[in-house]
Amino acid sequence: MAATASQIRPGAYYDSVVLMQLQRGLLTLPGVLDAGAVMATPVNLELLEASGLRPVSGAGADDLLIVVKAENKESAEGALGQIDALMTRRRASGEVDFRPKSLDAAAHRLPEAAWVLVSVPGRFAGGVARDALHLGKNVFLYSDNVSLEDEVELKREAQGRGLLVMGPDCGTAIVGGVGFGFANRTRRGSIGLVAASGTGLQTVASAIHHLGSGISQAIGTGGRDLHGEIGAASARQALDVLRRDPETSVIVLISKPPEPEVAARVAAAARRTGKPVVLNLIGLPGGGRSLGNLHFASGLQEAAEIAVELASSPAIPADAPPPVRGMARYLRALFSGGTLAYEAVLGLQIALHPLHTNVPLHESQRMQDPLHSTGHAILDLGADQFTVGRLHPMIDNDLRLRRLRQEAADPETAVILLDVVLGEGSHPDPAAELAPAVAEALERSDLKVLVCVIGTDLDPQGMEGQIEKFRASGARVFTGLREALDEIARLLPPEAEPWPTPVSLEAFRTPAAINVGLESFYESLVAQGAATLHVDWRPPAGGDERLMAILARMKSPSGS
């Protein structure tokens, strides 16, 4: 009858590779049916249970738990007796290269290494990354299960030193043609990638290769980089690197679902690169195909397709837009059409931030007082609250005329946008009433008025005549909303947030890297011909948390 036997090895460090090899080794022993060798976290205990490897109680999250299911009790216990041998066997195999015992020693031996790859378990990873930064190295931090607080602190420290931290939980990068971590082998080329997303980067890089183009640099940031607490710290550094990199002509920016606030910040940086940037921020659609130098993809494959197309187009001299000066800096959009107002919010929310509106897509965008605009404002004047006992603004222009004058009188207004929807049932000649008010507003020289006319050549108002009247008033006239939004993005460039302390481009030329953690990453660097050293890393204090804390306090000059 099948029997199960377990062993707990309390709180110490075990390499994940060692655990995988141990589990596989146990499975080869006589009579063994199944085996698990895992850190005893709640999820891992449940996983064992689900596999019919009922775990014993008493193991904590920092303990190693080994469970063997065998044909009988003897086989199960016999297998447990082999644990030490199996773990040692792995250790002894294939050590040929020189292996420094510490990061310091490795840095001394390979001074040209601008990078340290860190893939030790999460609870040790922050410490190793910090040591690397103190040595002046950029960090590729593969490890996951690193706390958000550690990430904030590491990235703050890196930025202060002009260094880059990719990660934590950064699975992949291609630096100067060399893949770090998980990386597809791809042609070199002129497309640069920034990704808060590992497989996103791999998928786009692979697709670009399939389409015949290539990669200049592919920079991971870690999946949490676009969270509010991190504020796209690494993504902004990476955009700055690709902006300065002469080999990069097109940039692709990918992320898992970002916080809208941070997405706006990173989009502002993307607009200021002066290069075409393809965005695929999952769950945050652009509301169109493009806006200025930003191009919106609906998925990873499409991001690659757009980038390849842009890279093969003759280079457009896309100068970064100059920052706005003076008081007049805001959009005031006065819509009669609700859906057009929504489309404007969708299309501009990433470019004009913060945006206030009575048709919000997120509650944070809701206008406090729809009767008085502040900042960038998009108003649907056909909303229910405005039409009690009043005709719709497509029939009665009074409300819009008054609001147009109100916005024009505000010195902070830079651009006024109006829609004019023609057709049956609408006002018979809207331009006759609106165009004179536009002309009056345009007496202010620092104001622009954009009018978007929606209609057909068959409409009773006469579309051409309407357009002519608005043109004559000095307005810029568009017959589609997208073109109007594009012009608004051009007229209202992002405020000039300073670029971070530059990360040296030298680090991206001929990368040399020190590896701390998974041996397979080292082997892959060797296979790719990169100068590299693998550190024979052991956790401080043998992985004992209490001792580690004491050691950390001793190392820190401030004693904190």
For its own copies, the binding residues in 42-61 under the rule CB under 8 A are 43-44, 46-47, 50-51, 61
Q: Which is nearer to its own copies, 258 or 500 (CB)?
A: 258
Site string for its own copies, 278-307 (x = CB under 8 A): ----xx-xxxxx------x-xxxxx-----
Residues 141, 116: contact at Cβ < 8 Å? no
Site string for its own copies, 228-257 (x = CB under 8 A): --------------------------x-xx
* Residue 200 near its own copies by CB under 8 A: yes
Within 307-326, the residues that bind its own copies by CB under 8 A are none
Q: Is 385 exposed, middle or buried (0-12, 13-18, 19+ CB in 10 A)?
A: exposed
Considering only residues 19, 67, 251, 438, which one is a binding residue for its own copies as defined by CB under 8 A?
19
Site string for its own copies, 394-413 (x = CB under 8 A): xxx-xx--x---x-------
Q: What distance in Å separates the CA atoms of residue 501 and residue 514, rounded to the nearest whole number? A: 24
Considering only residues 140, 330, 342, 470, which one is a binding residue for its own copies as defined by CB under 8 A?
342
Please state the closest distance from residue 226 (CB atom) to its own copies, in A: 13
Strands (DSSP E) found in 40-114: 64-70
Considering only residues 226, 422, 437, 513, which one is a binding residue for its own copies as defined by CB under 8 A?
422
* Residue 192 near its own copies by CB under 8 A: no
Considering only residues 155, 209, 227, 376, which one is a binding residue for its own copies as defined by CB under 8 A?
209
Within 377-396, the residues that bind its own copies by CB under 8 A are 382, 384-392, 394-396
* Residue 116 near its own copies by CB under 8 A: no
Please state the closest distance from residue 76 (CB atom) to its own copies, in A: 19
Please state the closest distance from residue 75 (CB atom) to its own copies, in A: 21
Helix (H, G, I), strand (E, B) or coil at 334: strand
Residues 516, 118: contact at Cβ < 8 Å? yes
Tell me the one-letter amino acid at 118. V
Q: What distance in Å separates the CA atoms of residue 22 and residue 85, rounded to the nearest whole number? A: 9
Of 529, 526, 450, the C-alpha closest to 485 is: 450
Element (H, E) at 73: helix 73-80
Using CB under 8 A as the binding criterion, the count of chain residues that bind its own copies stands at: 113
Angle at 134 between CA 545 and CA 536, to 5 degrees: 55
Helix 481-491 crosses helix 338-348 at what angle (to 10 degrees)?
Answer: 40
Beta strands across the sheet bearing 165-166: 165-166, 138-141, 115-118, 513-516, 532-534
Q: Which is nearer to its own copies, 126 or 198 (CB)?
A: 198
* Residue 337 near its own copies by CB under 8 A: yes
